[in-house]
Structure 1
Amino acid sequence: MAGKIILVTGGARSGKSTFAEKLAARGKQSVGYIATAQVLDREMGYRVKLHQQRRPDNWQTYEAPFGADKAIAEAATGHKVLLFDCITLYLSNLLCLSPEAELTEEKAYAMLEEQVGKLLAAARQAALQGTTTIFVTNEVGAGIVPENKLARLYRDLSGLANQKLAAAADEVYAVMAGIPVNLKKLNALLEQEKDG
């Protein structure tokens, strides 16, 4: 049986990671956890610790702040479910590789196309092997317009990455206040009503 691609999105502290963890655990299958965070300060260290404490001991973690497509391919050989947490941290890692002065919009958009393309290709290959990949991401564009150019670029790239992943996903969930909504199912119902 083929696997799926699932996208879980939401704002900060919306409950999206907790929901994605429940999705990953529901089949009682082996889970590979693709961790994209880099612990560069105490705040991030605390956040990572919270995530680690929630994960079952039998989940295998793959540290992938870069080259996450390779981590997906590696993890898919031994697991039926992969949980990728998260896209926006991964994108931030990639953006920070280039000095801000050298980061043009053209380079950033090309990087986004390439990197999201690699992630989706790896997830599609995993699905052919029967592995489901659950991507977690953030909705970063729902608040105040950032005051600096890099932050605005990050916001825009995050939104585009989310759109590309959502278009390719079999299921898309938005989580708000801990409550998940299946967006693709809701969209299909609305389309039925419109056509009927």
Structure 2
Amino acid sequence: MPTANLTFILGGARSGKSAHAEQLATTHAAHTVTYIATARGTAGDHEFATRIAHHQTRRPTHWHLLEAPWDLAAAIVQADGHGHCILIDCLTLWLANFLCPFDEADAHGISKDSKDSEGGKHYATQLAALETALTSATGQIIVVSNEIGLGVVPLGSLTRQYVDELGRLNQRIATLSTRVTLMVAGVPLAVKTVAHA
């Protein structure tokens, strides 16, 4: 069942999806806007730190920021409210945090060996909580994710698993969404629009 206040924006790398999401969020300038970032720390990764800094400088300074690399549902509940807007950027990194932990001590993720592992159970629990938070929210929510399944089947079992899991995640969020937009070369294409009853 679609959630009336959920917009899902998909696209490839540098397709303009984040900029489009931010533009939509600025239409809520009279209300509270919270940006939920899912990226983990960038220690030693200067290129990724530069990407994050670019996103930060583009956002209005009055927006609130929450960092939620794992417990995205809790961040949504914290930021939600009537007249509020939440921008989540992005599901791609959120899933990677589970699937590709930095090391074994950071293993919140889906096991490379078995989806029945404790990590896989943790992801399943967080995904269920995310869906509940999205369907229960009272404010406007904009979710960003990558569409990475349009090319050839990738080499390597972990990469294939990631592509499969992200595709499944995107489908689940699209099912909940009233609006789904695909970004192509900076141009938004409406994929799904459900009229309000």
- TM (norm. structure 1) is 0.84
Contact in 1 for aligned 2:34/2:79 (Cα 8 Å): yes
Residue of structure 1 equivalent to 2:88: 84
Contact in 1 for aligned 2:5/2:141 (Cα 8 Å): yes
Q: Specify the SS of the correspondent of 1:12.
A: coil
Number of aligned residue pairs: give it.
183
Find out whether 1:45 has 2:45 as its counterpart: no
Provide Cα deviations, 1:48-100, integer angstroms capped at 9, x if missing partner. 01100110000000011111110111011486100000001000001122588
Aligned counterpart for 1:104 among listed residues 107, 114, 127: 114
Residue of structure 2 equivalent to 1:135: 143
Residue of structure 1 equivalent to 2:174: 166
Q: Larger helix proportion, structure 1 or 2?
A: 1
Q: Larger strand proportion, structure 1 or 2?
A: 2
Residue of structure 2 equivalent to 1:184: 192
Residue of structure 2 equivalent to 1:16: 17
Calculate percent identity across the aligned residue pairs: 37
Q: CA deviation at 1:105?
A: 4.0
Query: Tell me, which stretches of 5 or more residues in structure 2 are unaligned?
Result: 102-106
Distance 1:99 1:158, change over 3 A: closer
Distance 1:112 1:182, change over 3 A: farther
Query: Tell me, which stretches of 5 or more residues in structure 1 are unaligned?
Result: 189-196
Q: CA deviation at 1:142?
A: 1.5
- TM (norm. structure 2) is 0.83
Contact in 2 for aligned 1:32/1:79 (Cα 8 Å): no
